[in-house]
């Protein structure tokens, strides 16, 4: 069981007041707050070790390089990967775009097909639609049931000989639904199809083992797991990484660039590991901070994170149902979700609800959460209110939000909010 009160001491921002109220931060699916351990580690790097990496033989460069590669090892340990299968990116969005334009653009041709779902964040839809416009591939969509679960029965029907990739979210950023990714990988591999997993909403919240999952690609963001903005991770299975040539090239991506006078050009030998997809000087301090964030989470234990969030989800859903006049979206069973609850107060625009909650110092997300198609399916045409939890959130905070929602519902019934 998490010692939440001790954990909260590591997050200075949680002592802030908003509109005269102690901050209650329930927008963790958008980005999480940062513990002092991560903040201090970044400061320490800039004060003691700052230099460019993989370039110099002087002491500072060697220290910086070692810290950067130690972060790679830490992230690999967190998801049970080989460190040489870990590519650092800016975020999940960039990671998915690397799959699209570094692997798929060269591997696929007109008439080939990609399967994704209607549950996806826009970042796992728009690159594939753009790719279809560029080279004529076809994008197909797995449907979603009214209860917010994938229509798994759609998948075998959508697969044919031209299917070259299935790309799927591990957990919905709107509904919190945890998808049976392992089952999807099994179906895909039976048909010789690789799988890419968007783990932006799962990697920070539940244990992940890529060897057990057996996917070819997996992407997640640092800023959603206590790490700095501008950091992300792309896992690529080693046999696929060996075949990939970079689309964005330059410093760090190559082994050799040799001038061939008789040919009048340069011959390029690409790097062999993840560095060939990390062009230029990366966010060194950010990656080191991300490594510290991963250590923090592993020390707590992602199994404990998962249990804590499910308790908060259960309390939220139970409370909202007792209030009534509220529509809750997604699976009814809290055990089928990460720490996300999307809802609407009947008759109110989600932004109205969020603005009133903000007056009480409660930060939630409102709108489409970069996932319009799923909102169309669940009948939330104006979007939804999303409360999303993390390790520093508490049951009393949930109760405070429920009390405010109860007030809003009563004010709506009295005609004070419309």
Q: Which residues are catalytic?
A: 370
Question: Furthest-apart CA pair in the chain: how many Å?
Answer: 85
Q: How, if at all, do strands 362-363 and 340-345 pair?
A: unpaired
Instruction: Quote the tokens at residue 239.
Output: 């046999």
Q: In the structure encoding, which two tokens stand for residue 231, read together?
A: 């950091």
- DSSP, res 230: T
74 is written with which tokens?
């830490």
Question: Residue 160 and residue 236: Cα distance in Å, rounded?
Answer: 24
Helices (H), 275-415: 284-300, 302-323, 350-359, 372-378, 395-413
Tell me how far apart the alpha carbons of residues 188 and 233 are, in angstroms, rounded to a whole number.
23
- Rounded to whole angstroms, the Cα distance separating 319 from 335 reads 17
DSSP letters for 109-144: -TT-EEEEETT--GGGTHHHHHHHHHH--EEEEE-B
Tokens (6 digits) for 110 = 């007109």
Q: What is the DSSP letter of 253?
A: S
Helix (H) or strand (E) holding 92: helix 92-98
The C-alpha atoms of residue 402 and residue 357 are separated, in whole angstroms, by: 10
Cα-to-chain-centroid distance, residue 402:
27
What contacts 146, CB < 8 A, 6 or more positions away? 378
């Amino acid at each position: 069981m998490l010692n939440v009160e001790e954990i909260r001491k590591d997050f200075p921002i949680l002592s802030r007041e908003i509109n005269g109220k102690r901050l209650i931060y329930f927008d963790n699916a958008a980005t999480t707050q940062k513990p002092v351990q991560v903040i201090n580690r970044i400061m320490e790097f800039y004060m003691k070790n700052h230099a460019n990496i993989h370039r110099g033989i002087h002491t500072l460069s060697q220290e910086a390089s070692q810290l950067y590669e130690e972060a790679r090892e830490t992230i690999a340990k967190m998801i049970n990967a080989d460190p040489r299968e870990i590519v650092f990116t800016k975020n999940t969005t960039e990671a998915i775009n690397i799959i699209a334009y570094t692997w798929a653009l060269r591997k696929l041709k007109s008439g080939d097909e990609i399967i994704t779902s209607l549950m996806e964040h826009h970042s796992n839809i728009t690159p594939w639609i753009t790719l279809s416009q560029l080279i004529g591939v076809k994008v197909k969509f797995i449907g979603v049931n009214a209860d917010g679960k994938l229509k798994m029965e759609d998948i075998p029907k959508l697969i044919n000989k031209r299917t070259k990739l299935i790309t799927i979210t591990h957990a919905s950023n709107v509904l919190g639904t945890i998808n049976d990714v392992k089952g999807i990988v099994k179906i895909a591999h039976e048909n010789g199809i690789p799988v890419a997993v968007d783990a932006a909403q799962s990697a920070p919240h539940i244990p992940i083992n890529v060897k057990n999952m057996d996917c070819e690609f997996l992407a997640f963001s640092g800023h959603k797991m206590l790490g700095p903005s501008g950091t992300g991770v792309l896992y690529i299975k080693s046999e696929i990484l060996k075949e990939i040539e970079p689309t964005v090239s330059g410093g760090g991506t190559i082994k050799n660039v040799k001038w061939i006078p008789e040919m009048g050009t340069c011959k390029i030998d690409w790097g062999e590991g993840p560095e060939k997809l990390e062009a230029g000087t990366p966010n060194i301090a950010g990656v080191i901070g991300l490594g510290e964030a991963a250590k923090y989470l592993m020390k707590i234990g992602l199994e404990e994170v998962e249990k804590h969030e499910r308790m908060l989800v259960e309390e939220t859903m139970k409370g909202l149902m007792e209030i009534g006049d509220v529509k809750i979206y997604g699976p009814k069973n809290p055990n089928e979700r990460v720490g996300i609850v999307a809802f609407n107060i009947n008759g109110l625009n989600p932004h109205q609800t969020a603005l009133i909650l903000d007056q009480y110092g409660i930060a939630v997300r409102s709108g489409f959460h970069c996932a319009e198609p799923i909102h169309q399916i669940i009948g939330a045409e104006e979007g939804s209110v999303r409360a999303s939890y993390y390790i520093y959130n508490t049951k009393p905070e949930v109760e405070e939000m429920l009390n405010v929602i109860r007030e809003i519902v009563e004010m709506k019934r009295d005609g004070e909010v419309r």
